[in-house]
Structure 1
Amino acid sequence: MRNLILVVSILLGVLTGIVVSALVNPFLFRKASQLHQLIPAHQYALPARLLIPRLRIDSAVEAVAQDKDGAMDVPKNEWNVGWYSLGTRPGETGSAVIAGHLDTAVGPAIFYRISSLQPDDVVEVIDIKGRQTKFRVTSIKVHPYTSFPINEVFGKTGGSFLNLITCTGAFDQNTKRYSDRIVVYTQKMN
């Protein structure tokens, strides 16, 4: 009799645990095919082109992630720009980030003249579905590479932002790196 009571108690405990788990974590017993319905879809498609009319830039957008050191990678083609695909899509709430090369060993690259942008200049992103989103330049800042404000550039919320980055400053032959980064801060236009 004691064994029967022990077995029934254990079974009731296990069943109670399963029921409580299902109530606390409803995802536990959902089929994988149902989960995609619970995850919000992106409002914007992947970026395809970056246009900066004032600089006559019309560039393809490459999706980039992180390099071997954990920093934002750069586009493979010096005339393309690289959108940080682990972050926000341009147009969505948060800070989307696009980088471009300043120069190459043989001359200027896509963002060579980006420092000449001014507040109120327009930057446009066209996504793969042809949707165009416009941003207005709000400020341009130069930050030392060694104290780059990652949260300011990648983590700003409270609106829809697009930040453009390239190298600037002195080039160090030993590290093959520029001393500074220039960031063009923009905000989505209504």
Structure 2
Amino acid sequence: MAFSRPPTLLLIYKDFTYVISEFTRGKTFKFSWVVREVLFAVLLMGCLVVARRYSRNLRLMFDLQLKAFGAVEKGDYDRFVPLVSNDEFSVIAEQTKKMIVGLREREKIKKAFGKYLDPQVAVAVLNTEEDANLGGRQVEVAIMFTDLRNFTPLSARCSPQETVRVLNDYFTIGGLCHTPPRWCG
């Protein structure tokens, strides 16, 4: 509000000098002109205050949006833009929230696929523009059958976690887990 004091003081000074000069000349003083001028100055100052507050709110909303987008760009899908108003920015914030939730779900699916498939295959599946073709497609595949002696009694004795650990060790030690890059999976 400090920016509005000098113009107000100048207007008051001008009005008082005008009133005094008219009084010393003996002319009739038109008080309505002074009132109009002061009202105009007050209205102008009010408009400037409203414009300044509105611009500060705009800057705040843009900063919140940019911080949320920056967090999403870094992979932080837990950051949302708060809904602080009921205008266009709330619509943008709501759509941004939906986008972040969608990206979070996509990342979750990608990680789940990555546990069971080659990461390149998971990315290819997620990036496919067309719907999944339930009719299938013809591709060349390689199937490996392996037999572990006494695996059934072993799996009956072990917990599921231990069984998976044994299988992972078997595939890793045997080099069977290596996937040729040509086949991607």
Q: Which bin holds the TM-score, normalised by the shorter protein?
A: under 0.3
Higher fraction of helix: 2
TM-score relative to the length of structure 2 = 0.27
Q: Pick the structure with greater CA Rg.
A: 2
Higher fraction of strand: 1
